[in-house]
Structure 1
Amino acid sequence: MPDRHGTALAFDFGEARIGVAVGELELAIAHPLETIAAEANDARFARIGALIAEWRPAQLVVGLPTHTDGTEHELTRLAKKFAQRLKGRFNLPVWLVDERLTSLVAESLLAEAGVSGRRQKPALDQVAAQAILTTWFDTPGQAL
């Protein structure tokens, strides 16, 4: 069970973009933070390092994409590799959380907020990261 003090950062990993959300552990409330659109790993990890320096999280959470039946695919492997890199670079606890329905939740939340169609794309990844973090608050998932 994770320590429930401090802040957590959650990541919706993708090959083109990484959505980031932040949440307060004691309150279990998550907020979308930003979408990292850099393609080069060095640029991605530099931005993540800056976010970690700014927010000083106690926990990191990574969404684990799978097929709807729970079986793994190529993006599952890449997300696990990303999570291992986070753990190695930043020496923080990293948790993997099932993210199968988070994109649908994110689209629904944005639609409720009146954001639809092409206007959803810039916010979709960070709202998906928010859904990942909210899921983790309820069910911590697997620690690396």
Structure 2
Amino acid sequence: MRIMGVDFGDARTGIAVSDEAGFLASPVCVIKETSFNETIKKAAKLAAEYSVGQIVVGYPKNMNGTIGERAEKSKRFAKRLEAATGVPVKLWDERCTTMSAAVYMNATDTRGKKRKNNIDAAAAAIILQDYLDYLRNTNV
């Protein structure tokens, strides 16, 4: 089953998709949209296009584990996306994933406009890969 990973943002939302075996996450695209409803529509369209059986949305908890405004907005996004797709959506702790994506971009010497256009998709791939590794290691 394919799983889609989402790094939801107010202006850019990264999308990644796994292979059929659920082994490897790959960045797909960045939805450049400021409308909450339009972002949901575009993400739902991608979920249908890739025939995903599950969606994982990054859940940006605060570093101390508390839930802030950003996490609450991601939770609302996840609920609306689940309603729009009919596909189960899981929230997944995404603390430090954008930082990890930035480290990766530095290591691959990705700079400027290309970096800005790809960092959110890379963050979505990191969120999804973390979830896939969890599933594999816990045999869920």
User: What is the TM-score of this pair, normalised by structure 2?
Assistant: 0.88
Q: Which letter does structure 2 place at the counterpart of 1:69?
A: N
User: By how many angstroms is 1:52 displaced?
Assistant: 1.8
| Residue 39 of structure 2 is aligned to residue 82 of structure 1 | no
2:8 to 8, 13, 22: 13
| Residue 28 of structure 2 is aligned to residue 28 of structure 1 | no
Q: Is the 8 A contact 2:58 2:92 kept in 1?
A: yes
Q: Which letter does structure 1 place at the counterpart of 2:50?
A: W
Q: Which letter does structure 2 place at the counterpart of 1:63?
A: G
* Residue 52 (structure 1) aligns with: 47
1:71 to 66, 70, 83: 66
| Residue 91 of structure 2 is aligned to residue 96 of structure 1 | yes
* Residue 43 (structure 1) aligns with: 38
* Residue 3 (structure 1) aligns with: none
| Residue 86 of structure 2 is aligned to residue 111 of structure 1 | no
Q: Distance in 1 between matches of 2:81 and 2:40?
A: 8
Cα deviation digits, residues 87-144 of structure 1 (max 9, x gap): 111111111111001011111111222203554211111100000001111225xxxx
Q: Which letter does structure 2 place at the counterpart of 1:38?
A: E
- Which sections of structure 2, spanning at least 5 residues, go unmatched? 136-140
Moved over 4 A (4+): none
User: What is the TM-score of this pair, normalised by structure 1?
Assistant: 0.86
1:134 to 117, 129, 137: 129
* Residue 123 (structure 1) aligns with: 118
User: By how many angstroms is 1:14 displaced?
Assistant: 1.1
Q: Distance in 2 between matches of 1:95 and 1:50?
A: 18
Q: Distance in 2 between matches of 1:34 and 1:118?
A: 14
Matched residues, percent identical?
Answer: 32
User: By how many angstroms is 1:25 displaced?
Assistant: 5.0
- Give the superposed CA RMSD: 1.5
- Which sections of structure 1, spanning at least 5 residues, go unmatched? 1-5
Give the count of matched residue pairs: 135
What SS does structure 2 have at the residue aligned with 1:100?
coil
